[in-house]
Structure formats: structure tokens, C-alpha cells
A and B are shown apart, each in its own frame.
Chain A
Amino acid sequence: MSEEPVVMTHNLQKIFKDFWRRPRARAVDGINLTLHKGEVYGLLGPNGSGKSTTIKVLLGLLHPDGGEVKVLGKPPRNVDVKRRVGYLPEESYLYPYLDARETLRFYATLFGLQGTSREKRIDELLEMVGLSHTGHRRVGEFSKGMARRIGLAQALINDPDLVILDEPTSGLDPLGTRQVKDIVTALAEKGKTVLLSSHLLADVEDVCERITILYGGKVQASGPIRDLLQVANHLQIRLKDLDETQRTHLLDTLEQQLGQRPTLEPTRKDLESFFLEVVAQARRESGEGSGTRAEGKLAGFLTEKKSESKGQSLDTNPAASSDI
């Protein structure tokens, strides 16, 4: 018997209505999604394609007008479901008069976290997102990138089984983007399911196993990213350390065998890798700057093997229970 999907929508419909309850826009039109445990799933589409609406329905913020939605096997507005979900909205809507530590404490308390375990998690998360040295600064003074980082930290405060990230790298520098991608990958390796919505296709390509592309509220393409991006009848051969003679010999042989002369191009690094190398070199030479400091390593509590719930059970499935 196959494992129950973490997220399941069937023929999901969402219609926005005007003041007189007349249909104004069909934001989501018959979307089917199935996310499995430990999977990083990408939701792509241009503005107004229905990505954020779908996410808000999955979070119980909007009511579906048709179809079926199940998150962790239950309706999305179920409080037990919310205990196991982490959410980073497209912008981090934070209380500006709270500092970073107070912000995390506030959201941790909503999950029922108390005492030293809460403070330990906050320390680990601040360390993970590189804000441990700005824990007492009001978040209203934070840059967009720092606000995104604290937003990501609050999304992980409950050690969620399902993490929904809406534009997680928006406003982040390349270093921050790389760290977020590393965190997403590490979360998936630990068995957590990640639903990622983004405009930045390179980010999605780097971390997602499967994607769905939406347009006009409908699914336009869906499947494993490797299959979707495969170009038929085109092959790539990678070799290194060839001298001029070997190259000429290779080209001649291939031409003789295939009847067409292939082209040779040197392998290029992508810009992100190059940038990260330069920054890493600079850091080695001149030490840490005044900005954020993080290695993209997962917080300790997120990597721990979950123990049996001692207090209030968060789930009927013991394997998925939390130590909150």
C-alpha cells in the first residue's frame, strides 16, 4: 500500500467574487497536485497564474469553491495540520516593533513551545539564517533580505513536516539564495516535504524534483523536472584535460563515424558558482563582513531524529510526531 500523499488536491477550484457575490476571476481552475514525503516540489507560473492562491487554499486562508484538498491527510484548516506546516509568505509580514528574537518567540509560543527548548530552537534558527548577531534588533529596521531570513526561521520554528515557501529567495543576495537552496535540499534529505513557489527558474531547477507550471489558473505542464527539460535527440559528452592533438583526433573520428562534424565548446561555470567562489575567497582573506553570517547548514533540531511525543500528540502517526 502506497504512503498517503502529504498534499493532495483534486480538481481544485477557486473563484474570486465581487461585493455582490458575482464571479470576478477564476484564479484556480481544476488543479490536481500530489506531493509525497521528502519531496521538493516547484510551483511555477507568471504573475496571476494562481500560485499564491493555490498555496493560500492549502494553508486554509482561502476556501476552495470546488474540488478536494487534503494536507497531511486532513482538511487544511484543521489545527492539527497547522501544527505540522511551516509557511513563508511571499513577503515577510512581521510585527515591526518586535526584535528578531521576540518575533521567533511569538511564533514559537503559538506552536506551544516553551522554556529552554524554545530558546534553544531560536538560537539555532538565528544561527542558521545568519542573524544571531542581530537578534535584538527590531525587525522593522531589517533589510528585505534580513526580513526574508527571519521569515524563513519562523517557518521552521515548529520543525514542520511540510514547508511551504512562497518566493523564498526574493530579496536575497546570491549568497543568501544559495544558503536557502542548501537548507531546502537539507530539509528534503531529512524527509520533510517542501512546496516551493518562485519566479526564479534557476532556483527551482536547482532544488526541485518535480514541478507544475500554472497559467490562467490551470496546469500547463507537470512532472519530474529532468523529464520536462530533456531535449530529444540532443546528447552532451563531457571530457576534461584534452590537448590539441587529442581534440583533433576526436573530432575526426566522430565525423568519420557519424557523418557530421560536432562543435567543441569549453565548459563554463555558471555565474552563481563563480560569485560564490569570489565571495568565499574574499572572506578567507578579509574575514566576516557586517552583514548576515550563515553557512546554509540546517539547525540542529531540524536534523534530530524525531522522538516519540511525550506530551500532547500532534499526529495520529507516531512516526510523524513532534517533540513540541
Chain B
Amino acid sequence: MLVLLALVLLLLPAGLETDGTIQGALRMHIRYSLGFSTFLLAAMTIWVSCASIAGDISSKRLQMVLTKPVHRTEIWWGKWLAVVTLVSCLALICGAVTYLRIQTMIQTSDLSAEARQVVFSQQVTSRRPVDPVTVDLTPEAEELARQQILNGAIPENVPMEVVIPEMERFLKVTNNAASAGESVSWTFELDAPLQEGETFQLAYDYDGAAMGVTLVPGAWRIDVDGKEGVRIFETNETPYGEKVIPVEVGTALAGAQYLTLTYENRSESSGRVFFKPHQGVRLYFTTGGFLLNLVRALILICGLLSLLAAIGVSAGSIFSLPVACYVSAVVLLLQAFSGTVEEAVEQGIPPRQEEQGAFSRAIQQVQFKVFEGILVVIQPLQMENPLGRVSRGIEIPPSEVFRIFLLRFTPVVLLISGLGTLAFHRREIGEAT
């Protein structure tokens, strides 16, 4: 496992195809190489934690230890702590290797000073994102649904609870798009007024365009407190991928806490420019160094591994080694595919089709309930991949790390360990087979 880990860390990036840019290569190192190492560590955690008790029971070594004056609870926690210490050290080593490789790559690449500055300001950094103020789309979606039903575009027998979410999705897309000659706006509320001299980044992520691959002339306008066009940035670019405009706060912007950002599509053709409905337009404020951000991500990963270790040691306290490994691996896989499960639950049961039989409908409902149950079980394990944020230079706030540890990892580890120690306490060791 350790050899595999070393191979993944050192050789995997060389085998992956990047977009040819230094940013792409760095993202590959952080997100995929370190990410895959994390997955290997998770698998290793499960194996080692299951074997720590179940393996000692099957090899009968635990008989020697349990006859010594040590409480079974102490043995359980000792095993868990040993696994957590081992995998956390390995995770930190993987993080250190990745960090050193990133630094070496940047130092040895023949980047211009400007390109290097872009790397350090947009990727090898820590930026706090500010998203636009969210708007409640429900009233607008209800109105739109009524119009669509009146127009006959949607059959009347389709329930409103199915139509409204679809309308909301549609509005989210159209509210983040600008047709030729039209504009689209977003409002931002900042935590604190802007200070003169500070800089922030205006980042926008195109979601494809209706006019194909072509240059689209446009402009970004910043309005503050009723004053329009405080800053204007003209663009002429292919509407694909994420772009970043650095903004220096001058006298006009200083003191503003509410900003309105408007994109003007200056194209004369009928093409429509789309921005991603989720996190398509954001402002970024630099908050700290990349290394600290990476450490915070690794701390979250260690927390997740400690949770997996608790599951593994508990499973080993209840089941034999192969069964314990199987159960823990299923939990890990469910965690890996938790997004898919969540999506399925969010979408709900599709409306009844005429050709659908009662039996298949019942099966569908059972499946849905099973998915809901799975989601409840794996919810504590669900966590946005912190490496994804680190690879994009997006801050993981210390408060978030603290909150996840305090409100999620700690109670869940305590709950699982409670069940595990109880099972271990009741377990008979050395039973005749």
C-alpha cells in the first residue's frame, strides 16, 4: 500500500494529460494525485482499522492482551488512535510531497513574471469567495408555471410540485445569461466596506454559448450605491472557461459594501452568453497563504479518515475480518457516490406514467425510500472535496474546519465508537469454531 501511495504521488501526474498550462498541471497535482492518494489512504484506513481488532481476534493475539489488566474500552480507543495517527501522518507526508512538487514546478518552469503572478494570485493562494445575493425564485417560478400551463406548453395533469422545481431551474439558467445587446446583473453584499488600495478579483465562469466558438465582445460594469459605471472592463473573448479580472479599489469604490455587477453582451449577432448558474460569477478576496489552506484541507481529510477508522474498528468489533472489511468498504463507496444518491433523492419519484404498472411503481417507491435511508446514514460522511477548493486557490476558512470537526466529526465518531465499544465489550473471544 505504501509503495502504491508513493507511485501515485510521484508517477501519476506524469501519466495524466493536462491542458498544457502550468495551472492545469498544478490542479492535476493537487486534485488528482493528492486526491487519489487520499482515496488510497481511505482504503488503507478501512483495512488497517478492520484488521486492528478483527485480525487480532482471528490470529488469537487478542486473547493474550485481554487477559491483561486493560479495559476493553481502552483497547478499542488505543486501536482507533493508532490507526488515526498512522494514516494522518501519511496524509501529512502526502501533502508535504505535493507542496514541494508544486513549488519545484513553479520554480523550474519558464514562466514570465506576469504569468507567475497570475499563478500566485489565482491558484497558489487562498481566496475568500463572495457569491451574489440569492433571490427567491419561487413566486416567479409559480407565475411562469401558470403561464406555461395556460399556453398548453405543460399538461394540466402534471403536479405543481414537479413543475415548480423545473421552472426554478429554468429561471436560474436564464437569470445567468445575456442575449446579444442585453445585460444581466448580480448583486453582492460584502462583509466589510471596501478599503482604498485593496484588490479583489472578479471571476466569471462561462457555461458555453449559443453562437459557437467565436469572440464575443462584452463589458463588465461595477455599480455602487446608485452610481452607475464606477468601473468598466471591456472584454472580447471566447465564452468558455473561467476568467478573472483583477480589480484595484480606487476612490470611487472605497467604502462600498454593496456592489452590482452587470455584464453587457455587446455582440450584434443573436447569440446568447451563459454563465454557470451555480458559482458562475464570484468576487474573490485574498486572505492568506496557500500552505495554510492546504494544511486545513489535510486536517479535514484526516478528520474524514478518523471517521472511517471509527467505522472500521467498530465493524471489526462486531464482525469477522472479511465481513468487517466488506461493510466498511460499502460505506466508503456510498460516501464516494453520495452526490449521486443525493441527486436521486432531490429529484424525487418521477410522475406516474400511464404505461407504468402498480408493481414497478411500488419498486420505484421502495428504491426511493432506500436511497433516502442511505442518504441519512452517509450524510455525516458527506463533505465537499477540500482539495478541489485548494486546487483553485479558494479558502477553506478555519471556522469551517472547526465547525465540521465540532458538529460533524466529533459527534459521529463518539456515536460510532459508543456502538463499537459496546459491541467489543460484549464480544466473546476464543469461542470454539
Q: Of A32-40, A58-66, A168-176, A296-304, which stretch is located at the interface?
A: A58-66
User: Chain A residues with Cβ under 8 A from B430's Cβ?
Assistant: 52, 56, 61-62
Q: Measured between alpha carbons, how far is A56 from B60 in the docked complex, in Å?
A: 12
- In the complex, the answer to whether A82 meets B68 with C-beta atoms within 8 Å is yes
Q: A25-B432, A56-B430, A93-B59 are in contact. Are A61 and B66 (CB under 8 A)?
A: yes
For window 50-96 of A, CB contacts with B under 8 Å fall at: 52-53, 56, 59-63, 79-80, 82-83, 85, 87, 89, 91, 93-95
Q: A16-B432, A62-B428, A62-B429 are in contact. Are A94 and B70 (CB under 8 A)?
A: no
- In the complex, the answer to whether B429 meets A110 with C-beta atoms within 8 Å is no
B353 at the interface (CB under 8 A from A): no
A111 at the interface (CB under 8 A from B): yes
CB distance from B62 to the nearest CB of A (A): 8
Instruction: Report the nearest B residue to A55, measured CB to CB.
Output: B430
A27 at the interface (CB under 8 A from B): yes
Q: A16-B431, A16-B432 are in contact. Are A61 and B64 (CB under 8 A)?
A: no
- In the complex, the answer to whether A59 meets B67 with C-beta atoms within 8 Å is yes
B63 at the interface (CB under 8 A from A): yes
- In the complex, the answer to whether A87 meets B431 with C-beta atoms within 8 Å is no
CB distance from B108 to the nearest CB of A (A): 41
Most A CB within 10 A of own CB, among B61, B63, B64, B431: B64
B227 at the interface (CB under 8 A from A): no
Q: Measured between alpha carbons, how far is A94 from B61 in the docked complex, in Å?
A: 6
- In the complex, the answer to whether A93 meets B60 with C-beta atoms within 8 Å is yes
User: Chain A residues with Cβ under 8 A from B61's Cβ?
Assistant: 93-95
User: Chain A residues with Cβ under 8 A from B59's Cβ?
Assistant: 93
Q: Measured between alpha carbons, how far is A111 from B67 in the docked complex, in Å?
A: 10
For window 32-91 of B, CB contacts with A under 8 Å fall at: 59-61, 63-71
- In the complex, the answer to whether B432 meets A110 with C-beta atoms within 8 Å is no
User: Chain A residues with Cβ under 8 A from B69's Cβ?
Assistant: 79-80, 82-83, 110-112
Q: Measured between alpha carbons, how far is A60 from B65 in the docked complex, in Å?
A: 12
Q: Measured between alpha carbons, how far is A62 from B431 in the docked complex, in Å?
A: 7
Q: Measured between alpha carbons, how far is A4 from B59 in the docked complex, in Å?
A: 36
User: Chain A residues with Cβ under 8 A from B68's Cβ?
Assistant: 82, 107, 110-111
- In the complex, the answer to whether A89 meets B428 with C-beta atoms within 8 Å is no
- In the complex, the answer to whether A27 meets B60 with C-beta atoms within 8 Å is no
- In the complex, the answer to whether A61 meets B428 with C-beta atoms within 8 Å is yes
User: Chain A residues with Cβ under 8 A from B429's Cβ?
Assistant: 56, 61-62
- In the complex, the answer to whether A87 meets B67 with C-beta atoms within 8 Å is yes
Contact of B70 among A52, A80, A110, A154 (CB under 8 A): A110
Q: Measured between alpha carbons, how far is A80 from B71 in the docked complex, in Å?
A: 11
CB distance from A115 to the nearest CB of B (A): 18
For window 326-374 of B, CB contacts with A under 8 Å fall at: none
Instruction: Report the nearest B residue to A108, measured CB to CB.
Output: B68
Q: A93-B61, A95-B61 are in contact. Are A53 and B66 (CB under 8 A)?
A: no
Q: Measured between alpha carbons, how far is A91 from B61 in the docked complex, in Å?
A: 10
CB distance from B218 to the nearest CB of A (A): 66
Q: Measured between alpha carbons, how far is A91 from B59 in the docked complex, in Å?
A: 11
Q: A60-B66, A93-B64, A154-B64 are in contact. Are A79 and B71 (CB under 8 A)?
A: yes
**Scoring A residues 182 to 204 as 1 if CB is less than 8 Å from chain B, else 0, what string do you get?**
00000000000000000000000
Contact of B67 among A63, A82, A91 (CB under 8 A): A82
**Scoring A residues 15 to 26 as 1 if CB is less than 8 Å from chain B, else 0, what string do you get?**
010000000010
User: Chain A residues with Cβ under 8 A from B67's Cβ?
Assistant: 59-61, 82, 85, 87
Q: Measured between alpha carbons, how far is A52 from B431 in the docked complex, in Å?
A: 10
Q: Measured between alpha carbons, how far is A107 from B68 in the docked complex, in Å?
A: 8
User: Chain B residues with Cβ under 8 A from A52's Cβ?
Assistant: 430, 432
- In the complex, the answer to whether A89 meets B64 with C-beta atoms within 8 Å is yes
- In the complex, the answer to whether A27 meets B64 with C-beta atoms within 8 Å is no
Instruction: Report the nearest A residue to B433, measured CB to CB.
Output: A16
For window 195-227 of B, CB contacts with A under 8 Å fall at: none
User: Chain B residues with Cβ under 8 A from A27's Cβ?
Assistant: 432
Instruction: Report the nearest B residue to A78, measured CB to CB.
Output: B69
Q: A56-B430, A61-B430, A62-B428 are in contact. Are A89 and B70 (CB under 8 A)?
A: no
**Scoring B residues 415 to 433 as 1 if CB is less than 8 Å from chain A, else 0, what string do you get?**
0000000000000111110
Q: Measured between alpha carbons, how far is A154 from B66 in the docked complex, in Å?
A: 13
Contact of A94 among B64, B428, B432 (CB under 8 A): B64
- In the complex, the answer to whether B431 meets A79 with C-beta atoms within 8 Å is no
CB distance from A108 to the nearest CB of B (A): 10
Most B CB within 10 A of own CB, among A56, A59, A62: A56
Q: A25-B432, A61-B430 are in contact. Are A89 and B63 (CB under 8 A)?
A: yes
Instruction: Report the nearest A residue to B70, measured CB to CB.
Output: A110
CB distance from A101 to the nearest CB of B (A): 16
For window 228-265 of A, CB contacts with B under 8 Å fall at: none
User: Chain A residues with Cβ under 8 A from B431's Cβ?
Assistant: 16, 62
Q: Measured between alpha carbons, how far is A26 from B261 in the docked complex, in Å?
A: 80
Q: Measured between alpha carbons, how far is A3 from B285 in the docked complex, in Å?
A: 80
Q: Measured between alpha carbons, how far is A27 from B71 in the docked complex, in Å?
A: 27
Q: Measured between alpha carbons, how far is A89 from B430 in the docked complex, in Å?
A: 10
CB distance from A322 to the nearest CB of B (A): 11
Q: A110-B68, A111-B69 are in contact. Are A53 and B432 (CB under 8 A)?
A: yes
For window 145-198 of B, CB contacts with A under 8 Å fall at: none
- In the complex, the answer to whether A63 meets B432 with C-beta atoms within 8 Å is no
Q: Measured between alpha carbons, how far is A183 from B430 in the docked complex, in Å?
A: 27
CB distance from B72 to the nearest CB of A (A): 9
Q: A79-B69, A93-B59 are in contact. Are A63 and B428 (CB under 8 A)?
A: yes
Q: Measured between alpha carbons, how far is A63 from B425 in the docked complex, in Å?
A: 11
User: Chain A residues with Cβ under 8 A from B60's Cβ?
Assistant: 89, 91, 93
- In the complex, the answer to whether A107 meets B64 with C-beta atoms within 8 Å is yes
CB distance from A17 to the nearest CB of B (A): 9
User: Chain A residues with Cβ under 8 A from B65's Cβ?
Assistant: 110
CB distance from B79 to the nearest CB of A (A): 14
CB distance from A124 to the nearest CB of B (A): 19
Q: Measured between alpha carbons, how far is A107 from B67 in the docked complex, in Å?
A: 10
CB distance from A269 to the nearest CB of B (A): 38
User: Chain A residues with Cβ under 8 A from B66's Cβ?
Assistant: 59-61
CB distance from B212 to the nearest CB of A (A): 64
Q: Measured between alpha carbons, how far is A80 from B68 in the docked complex, in Å?
A: 10
Q: Measured between alpha carbons, how far is A16 from B432 in the docked complex, in Å?
A: 8
Instruction: Report the nearest A residue to B62, measured CB to CB.
Output: A93
Interface residues of B (CB under 8 A from A): 59-61, 63-71, 428-432
Pairs of residues from A and B, 8 with the lowest C-beta to C-beta distance, nearest first: A110-B68, A82-B69, A93-B60, A83-B69, A87-B67, A61-B429, A93-B61, A79-B69
Can you list 22 pairs linking A and B with CB atoms under 8 Å apart?
A: A16-B431, A16-B432, A25-B432, A52-B430, A56-B429, A59-B66, A59-B67, A60-B66, A60-B67, A62-B431, A63-B428, A80-B69, A89-B60, A89-B63, A89-B64, A93-B60, A93-B64, A107-B64, A110-B70, A111-B68, A111-B69, A112-B69
